[in-house]
Structure 1
Amino acid sequence: MAAPKNHFKQALTEGQRQIGCWCSFGEAITTELMGTAGFDWLVIDGEHAPNDIRSIRDQLVALATSSAEPVVRVPIGETWIIKQVLDAGAQTVLVPMVETADQAAELVRACRYPPEGTRGVGAAGARATRFGGTPEYIQTADAQICLLLQVENRIGIENLDAILAVEGVDGIFIGPADLSTDMGHQGNSAHPEVRAVIADAITRIKAAGKAPGILGVTEEATQAYAEMGAQFLAVGIDVVLLAQSARALASRWSDDGTG
């Protein structure tokens, strides 16, 4: 039995647009709920959400029967955490703050078994192999791993073409909040200068044969990114969705109770 097919990676390879959402609660039950919403992919966020390897694993379990493909964002691009999330069953990994081609190459190696990579060969009893029930996992896993790199500052943008030239990188995710702040616009990702850099980056990513991705947290931004050609497009964050809906509901009924 081989490693499971990564349908998200296949969709990117085929040029299909994939619509996703962020999961930032760090709880399996909310991620399971999000898995019923109809998104193509969901980010289990290990960078800014209160997650550890156990909660990441539990959310992977929660999405096991969902049509939404899990994308695990690790807190940092280190081999040890990539090894852990892959052994927990992740097949698509999103790495923040990638700035150079050398860093990208090391991340590719972290996702692959020797001799091409440095991933530890210890998954026999891990969830990734169905606890030893996938005898051909090690021989077939590399082909099903999807590596997405976040380019989200001026250094990364300057080195984007070199990063794109690294074999084994499947997609580049532009981080608009970090990028705009690094450009001196403190979170104003709608600034024309920032939008111009994002549009140019998406064009270059597509021209290199990679998949461009981004997160839009407003309808206007999401539409703009879609028109730029973003292929894996996140359209919201679960925490923000709940907060906005709850506040709107409370505001509607708080004055006189009549709506």
Structure 2
Amino acid sequence: MPAPENRFKAALSRGETQYGCWAGFADPYPTEMLATAGFDWLVIDGEHAPNDLRTIMAQLQVLEGHHSAPVVRLPMGEAWMIKQVLDIGAQTLLIPMVESAEQAQQISRAMCYPPRGIRGSGAALARASRFSEIPDYIGTANDQMCLLVQVETQAGIDALDDILAVEGVDGVFIGPSDLAADMGHAGDSNAPEVRRVIKDALSRIAASSKAAGILALDHDTAQIYRDWGAQFLAVGIDVVLLAQAARGLMARWRSDD
């Protein structure tokens, strides 16, 4: 029995557009609710949300059997962190602040068993192998790993072509807010200079063998990014969705006073 198919990776390889949402509550209950909306992918965020290994695992568990594929974002591309989240069952990782081909190569190697990589061979006791129920897990897992790297600084943009040439990188995600800040626009991703860089980056990624990704919280901008080449597109953040709905509801009642 081989490792489970990574449906998200397979969809990207077929060129299908994948719409996603950020899961930032660090709890399985709202993440399971998000899955009922039918998003193609959900980001379990370990960079800016208060997730730890156990909360990430709990969310992976509740997403089993749902259409929404889990994408785990780690705070950094450390090999020991990658090993832990892969062993609890993650197959797709989103790694922030990648600025060189060498960095992307190191992350890719951390996601694979030897000889392709350096992932520790402890799958016998891991949830990923269904606790040894999948006898061929170690021999087949590498092909189901999906690595998405975030390019969100000028240094990353400068190294984009080299990053795109790295074997083992499946997609490149442009971080518009961090990129804007790094370019001196204080998170304003609508600044003309920033938009030009984003358009060029998405176009270059889309023209390569990798998938292009990005986040946009308003519909018009998301459509523009899709037209520029974004294939895996995050269109919402659960925390923001709830906050906006709650504030809008209260504002309507205040206006009736």
TM over 0.5: yes
Deviation at 1:80, TM superposition (A): 0.5
The 5-angstrom pairing of residues 194-213 of structure 1 reads 194-213=194-213
TM-score if structure 2 supplies the norm length? 0.98
Q: Could you tell me how far apart the structure 2 residues matched to 1:123 and 1:55 are?
A: 20
The 5-angstrom pairing of residues 158-173 of structure 1 reads 158-173=158-173
- Residue type matched to 1:104 in 2? A
> Helix, strand or coil: the match of 2:11?
helix
Segments of 5+ residues of structure 2 without an aligned counterpart are none
Q: Does 1:51 align with 2:54?
A: no
Q: Could you tell me how far apart the structure 2 residues matched to 1:256 and 1:202 are?
A: 45
Deviation at 1:169, TM superposition (A): 0.5
Q: What is the aligned residue count?
A: 257
Q: Could you tell me how far apart the structure 2 residues matched to 1:174 and 1:253 are?
A: 39
- Residue type matched to 1:24 in 2? G
Deviation at 1:67, TM superposition (A): 0.6
Q: Could you tell me how far apart the structure 1 residues matched to 2:215 and 2:66 are?
A: 21
Q: Does 1:228 align with 2:194?
A: no
Q: Could you tell me how far apart the structure 2 residues matched to 1:206 and 1:196 are?
A: 15
- Residue type matched to 1:169 in 2? V
- Residue type matched to 1:207 in 2? A
> Helix, strand or coil: the match of 1:2?
coil
- Residue type matched to 1:133 in 2? E
Residue number in structure 1 paired with 2:128: 128
Residue number in structure 2 paired with 1:249: 249
Deviation at 1:229, TM superposition (A): 1.5
Instruction: Map Cα deviations across residues 64-114 of structure 1 (whole Å, 9 max, x no partner).
Output: 121100000011111011111100100100000000000000011000001
Residue number in structure 1 paired with 2:146: 146
Deviation at 1:256, TM superposition (A): 3.4
Q: Could you tell me how far apart the structure 1 residues matched to 2:226 and 2:255 are?
A: 39
Q: Could you tell me how far apart the structure 2 residues matched to 1:135 and 1:34 are?
A: 33
RMSD: 0.8
The 5-angstrom pairing of residues 1-259 of structure 1 reads 1-256=1-256
Deviation at 1:219, TM superposition (A): 1.9
Which stretch of the first structure deviates more once superposed, 248-257 or 236-245?
248-257
Given that residues 19 and 232 in structure 1 are in contact (C-alpha distance below 8 angstroms), is that contact kept between their aligned partners in structure 2?
yes
Q: Could you tell me how far apart the structure 1 residues matched to 2:95 and 2:183 are?
A: 21
Deviation at 1:221, TM superposition (A): 1.7
- Residue type matched to 1:250 in 2? M
Instruction: Map Cα deviations across residues 156-196 of structure 1 (whole Å, 9 max, x no partner).
Output: 00000001111110000000000000000111001111111
Ranges of 4+ aligned residues in structure 1 off by more than 2 Å: 254-257
Deviation at 1:148, TM superposition (A): 0.3
Question: Quick one: percent identity of the two aligned structures?
Answer: 61
Given that residues 190 and 221 in structure 1 are in contact (C-alpha distance below 8 angstroms), is that contact kept between their aligned partners in structure 2?
no
Deviation at 1:254, TM superposition (A): 2.3
Segments of 5+ residues of structure 1 without an aligned counterpart are none
- Residue type matched to 1:16 in 2? E
Q: Could you tell me how far apart the structure 2 residues matched to 1:197 and 1:33 are?
A: 35
- Residue type matched to 2:138 in 1? I
Q: Could you tell me how far apart the structure 2 residues matched to 1:7 and 1:40 are?
A: 10
Deviation at 1:220, TM superposition (A): 2.4
Deviation at 1:142, TM superposition (A): 0.3
